Amino acid sequence: MNRPTPPRLGVHLAGDGVDVAVLAPHATRLDLCLFDDTGSPQSERRVRLDGPRYGLFTAHVPGVGAGQRYGLRADGPWDPVHGQRYNPAKLLVDPYARGLVGTLGYGPATYGHTVDAQLRGDVFGPADPRDSAGQVPHGVVVGAVPGPDPATNRPWTSWSRTVVYEAHVVGLTRLAPFVPPELRGTYAGLAHPRVIEHLLRLGVTAVELLPIHANASEPQLAARGLANYWGYSTLGFFAPHAAYATAAARDAGAAYVLAEVRTMVHALHDAGLEVLLDVVYNHTAEGGPGGQHLSWRGLDNALYYADDGNVPATYADVTGTGNTLDFRRAEVVRLTLDSLRYWADTVGVDGFRFDLAVTLGRGVDGFSPDHPTLVGAATDPSLHGLKLIAEPWDVGPGGWRTGEFGLPFAEWNDRFRDSARSFWLADPARAAHGLPGHRVRELATRLAGSVDLFGAGNPPLVRGPEASVNYVTAHDGFTLADLVAYDHKHNQANGEHNRDGATENKSWNHGVEGPVPADSPAVDIVPLRRRSIRNLFATLVLSAGTPMIVAGDEMGRTQQGNNNAYCQDNEVSWVSWPRGSAWRADLLATATYLLQLRRDHPALRTERFYTGAPLASGLPDLAWYDPTGAVFDHARWHDPALRTFQMVRTAGSARDIVLVVLNGALHPEDVVLADTDGDPWLLVWDSVWEHPDEQREAAIGGALHVAGGAKVTLEALSMRVYVTR
C-alpha cells in the first residue's frame, strides 16, 4: 500500500518521475519549467503545480529523470510598495536545486522591474515583461552520484590538534606547476597528491574552503569586466559551484560535478585532512531592491528578505550587500538547516564557517545566541561533532558579538588579529616616531587563549581556548607578506578608486612602501621584514586556541598591496608556489617547523583555560615574567614602557614546559630567563633565524642550553622558544 509522505522541498526523483515542492506562500500560480539538454528557451515545457497548500506548491511529474534541466515561474501580485514582486516572465532558480548549469547574464531581462540598457529603473515601477529564460542558470535533477561516500571516512580531528588552512579552490592550485594543467584551479586539483603532500608536510589538519556554493557576480563587477572571485554571493545553497569542476565533469553533467566535490572530500579524508566550508546564509546574489530577479525575490520577496517595516517596503540590510535573509522566519531557518544537513550527509564535509553569523541569530529583538538557527545547528544529529565556526559580527546594530556564541561554536577572534599586528607592527612603527603603543597585557591575554572573550557561560570556562579561532590574516585583508611591506592599501585594480577595503590595517612597511629592489639603498630593511613575518606566524601557531593560516602565507604570497582582492581572479589572488626563491623556501621551512613544535608540545595545545594554579608537577599551568625574571605584578602589566616579557606554559603531569620570550622593542634587550627550579632550558627556535637549521649552528657554539636565571640577549623585534631538556 502506497502511503503519502510529507513533501520534500525541491525536485527529487520518485518512481516514474519527480516529486516537486516549492515554497511560495503568496503566489497564485507556480509552474515547473522543463528544458531540453541544450537549455534552449524554445524547448520550455511548463507543468502547473498544485497549491498553495500550507504555503507549498507540489506535484508528481512523470517522465522526468536525472539530468533534466528546469526552472520555476511564479505568478501573483506585483506590488513592490508592499514587498510583493511576482513576475511570471522571469525564470527562477529553485532554492533547493542540487545542481546548476549555465551562466548568469546581466541584461535588462534579468530584472523584475523595468530597467533601461544601463540597468536603471524605478524599483517600485511596473513589472518587466521580457522573458529571462535564456539568461539565468537552470536547475538540474540530480540522481545517483558516482564515487566513494566521503561521510564514511571522516578524520574527526580533535579541536586541540586542529590547524585550519583557509584556501580558495581555484587560487590554491591555479599556478601549481606540479598539478596537471587540466586539474589546476579545480576540486580535483585541490585533491592532487602533491597538494595533499604539501598540506600534510606543513602540518595543517583542516582545509577551510572559501564558498563553493553556486554563486554569481554582482552586475557592477560584470560591468567592469571583473568577477566575485571570493564567491560570497550565493545563488544556490545546495548546488556546488560548477565552474570549479574540471571540464570533463562539467561536460558529463551536474551529478559528475557533485561527484568531483565528493571525491575531493574523500581523498582529503583519506589523508587525515578535514574539509570545512565557508557558507554564506546571511544574504544572496540578488542584491538590493533594485537588483536582479533570480530566485527568492520572485518566489516570496516579503518572506525571504528582512524589511524595515515601512511602506514603501525597503530592505533591512545588516550585511552590507543590499539584502539580508530574514531569520525571523521559520522558513529561512529551515532552508539553512536543510542545506547544512545536505552538505554534511551527502558531501561529507566536516564543518562550516558561517559568514556574518550574527545575522543568522537575529530575531525580533536582535541577536540571541539561543536563536533557533544556532540551536538547530548545535543540536541537529547530522551536524553532531562537526566543527561550527562563527564569524561573530555583521554590520547591523549591535553587530560585534565576539565571544557570545555558545557551545559547540568556535569563533573568529578579531581581537587576536589586532593585538598581534599591533604588538609586532603598528606599535614599533609608532615607536620609530617617538609615539606610544599598546601595553603588553592585551597580547598576553590573546596568547593565553582569550578567556576574557570565551570564558563566559553557564557554567563558566566550559568552552575552552579552542573556541578562539586565532588568525593574523584572512582572505579579507593584507597577506602576511603585505602586512610588513605596505602602510596603505593599493586597491586601484578593483575599479573603485581605492575607496574599498579597510583603511586601518595595523601594518608597517618598515620604512619603504612596497617591494624593495636588490639595488635599493633601503635593502637593509628586507631581513627585518622577514623577521616580522616569522614573529607574526609564530605568535599565531604558538598561542592557546585554534590557529588559522591563509593559503600562501607560509610561502610569502603577496597581493601587491591589495587588501580587498575579492574581485581579482588572477595572479593577485592565486597562490604562487616558490621556485628558486630562497627566502620563501626558508619561510616555508620555518612555518613547518613551528607547527611541528605545536604538535610536539602539549603545553602549546591546552584544552582548558589557564588558572595559574599549580598542577600535579607543582608548577603553575601559566606564569608570566618580566625581563628581569621577576613574576609580573599588577603594576607591571600597566607599564607603558614595557615591551619585553616571558610566558611559561606547563602541561599537566607530562611536565612539558615551554618558555616563550618576546621582545617588541626597537633595540636588543637583556632578559633573565624565568627560573622554574627545573631542568635547564633548551633553545628550540629564535625568530632571528632565517631557517630552522640555524639551530644546529647555534648548537655548535654552545648557545642552546641555558639555565633558568641566566641572562640572554634578544635582538630587537624578536622572539624565542625554549623547552625543558
Give mean pLDDT, residues 577-599. Answer: 95
Say yes or no to pLDDT of 444 above 70. yes
Which entry of 274, 355, 466, 482 is annotated as an active-site residue?
Answer: 355
List, for residues 164-198, the tens digit of each pLDDT value. 999 999 999 999 999 999 999 999 999 999 999 99
Please check whether residue 385 is in contact with residue 308, taking contact to mean a CB–CB distance below 8 angstroms.
Answer: no
- For residue range 107-150, what is the model confidence (pLDDT) as tens digits? 999 999 999 999 999 999 999 999 999 999 999 999 999 999 99
Q: What is the structure's pLDDT at 3?
A: 65
Strands 681-686 and 705-706: antiparallel
Predicted pLDDT of residue 696: 79
pLDDT tens figures, 311-338:
999 999 999 999 999 999 999 999 999 9
Distances (CA, A) of 537 to 500, 534, 595, 715, 719: 27, 5, 10, 18, 11
Residue with cell 507556480: 30
| Residue 702 in this model has a pLDDT that exceeds 80 | no
Measured over the CA atoms of residue 21, residue 26, residue 32 and residue 35, the dihedral's sign is negative
- What local confidence, expressed as pLDDT, does residue 1 receive? 43
Over its C-alpha atoms, the chain yields an Rg (Å, rounded) of 27
Instruction: State which amino acid sits at residue 356.
Output: L
Long-range contacts of 307-316 (CB under 8 A, 24+ apart): 307/83, 311/81, 311/82, 312/80, 312/81, 312/82, 312/124, 313/80, 313/81, 313/82, 313/83, 314/289, 315/288, 315/289, 316/396
Q: Which of 14-28, 212-226, 616-630 has the lowest mean pLDDT?
A: 616-630
391 is catalytic: yes
| Percentage of the chain lying above the pLDDT 70 cut | 99
Strand partners, 421: none
Measure the CA–CA gap between 610 and 175, rounded to whole angstroms: 43
pLDDT of residue 676: 86
What mean pLDDT, rounded, does the chain reach? 96
Q: Pick the catalytic residue: 326, 391, 621, 656?
A: 391
Three cell numbers written together for 209: 574552503
Q: In the prediction, which pLDDT does 655 show?
A: 79
Query: Which pLDDT score is estimated for 9?
Result: 98
pLDDT higher than 70, residue 372: yes
* Chain segment 480-523, per-residue pLDDT in tens: 999 999 999 999 999 999 999 999 999 999 999 999 999 999 99
Q: What is the mean pLDDT of residues 439-466?
A: 94
| pLDDT tier, 44 (very low <50, low <70, confident <90, very high otherwise) | very high
Region 601-626 average pLDDT:
92
When pLDDT is cut at 50, 70 and 90, the band that residue 536 belongs to is: very high
Q: What percent of the chain has pLDDT over 90?
A: 93
DSSP strand pairing (56-62 vs 17-23): antiparallel
d(CA 158, CA 156): 6
Residue 277's pLDDT is what? 98
pLDDT at 653: 65
pTM for this one? Answer: 0.97
Please name the residues in contact with 488: beta carbons below 8 A apart, sequence gap of 6 or more: 513, 561
| 2 vs 388 pLDDT, higher one | 388
pLDDT band at 698 (very low <50, low <70, confident <90, very high): confident
Q: Would residue 197 show up in a list of annotated catalytic residues for this protein?
A: no
For 259-312, how does the pLDDT look when each residue is reduced to its tens digit (9 = 90+)? 999 999 999 999 999 999 999 999 999 999 999 999 999 999 999 999 999 999
